Amino acid sequence: MDPSEGVYQHIDSTKEIWKALQDMTLGSDRDRWSIHEHAREVFQKDHRTCLVAMGLNPYHQNPAGLKVALPRAWQLTGKVESQINNNGTVNFYFESEHHILMVMEKAPYTYRGWLVALDIWSNQSKPDFLRTIPFKVKILNLPNMYRRPEIVWSIGSKLGHVKEVLIIEPTVNRAAEVSV
């Protein structure tokens, strides 16, 4: 037997294997599976009070660390369940909608010196999901004559996109508050 004959047989078998791999369907010829409407509703209800977190620097912010650190920062240790997802995000399931609103109101948060993106689970289909970090910026010592929504909006727009202007006029016990 010629030694080169074995090489040719090997090449032929490799071609046969390659051809067989190309012809594989891997289930693509089957009907797509679907979820029953009731199961989908239950799933969405379970995620109604779910907040998704993602560290902006994966080299310094691991999901397991976020899972432990954020409930402490929110002062909700033991009141929040969490789950690490395959994509590096962490789902936090809150007991009440009040808690999730409180957390979002006090955002942004940091972990290991870097910001953490937070968003409500139901916003996943939106293009800016986990891509924006809202800030509330207080404007201190703004003279009374400039405490007008248009002026405050103009000041805030120099910093970024303004969603809301809040002006609380002073009282005897409290100074004026202006934020965007």
Number of domains in the chain: 2
pTM: 0.68
Residues 48 and 96 both lie in one domain: yes
**Residue 174, domain extent:** 144-179
Residues 113 and 152 both lie in one domain: no
DSSP character string of the chain: --HHHHHHHHHHHHHHHHHHHHT--TTTTSPPP---HHHHHHHHHHTTTEEEEEES-TTT--HHHHHHHHHHHTT-TTTEEEEE-TTS-EEEEES-HHHHHHHHHT--EEETTEEEEEEEGGGTTSTTTTT------B-TT--GGG--HHHHHHHHHTTS-----EEE---SSS--EEE-
Residues 46 and 99 both lie in one domain: yes
* Domain-embedded: residue 7: no
Average pLDDT, the chain: 86
Residues 44 and 117 both lie in one domain: yes
Residues 85 and 47 both lie in one domain: yes
What is the structure's pLDDT at 150? 93
* Domain-embedded: residue 23: no
Residues 51 and 84 both lie in one domain: yes
Between 110 and 19, where is the model more confident? 110
pLDDT over threshold 60, residue 9: no
Instruction: Work out the pLDDT band at 1, boundaries 50, 70, 90.
Output: low
Residues 116 and 158 both lie in one domain: no
User: What CATH number is associated with residue 92?
Assistant: 3.30.70.330
* Domain-embedded: residue 22: no
* Domain-embedded: residue 162: yes
* Domain-embedded: residue 172: yes
* Domain-embedded: residue 164: yes
Residues 57 and 99 both lie in one domain: yes
Residues 44 and 119 both lie in one domain: yes
* Domain-embedded: residue 88: yes
pLDDT (tens digit per residue) in 156-179: 899 888 888 888 888 888 777 777
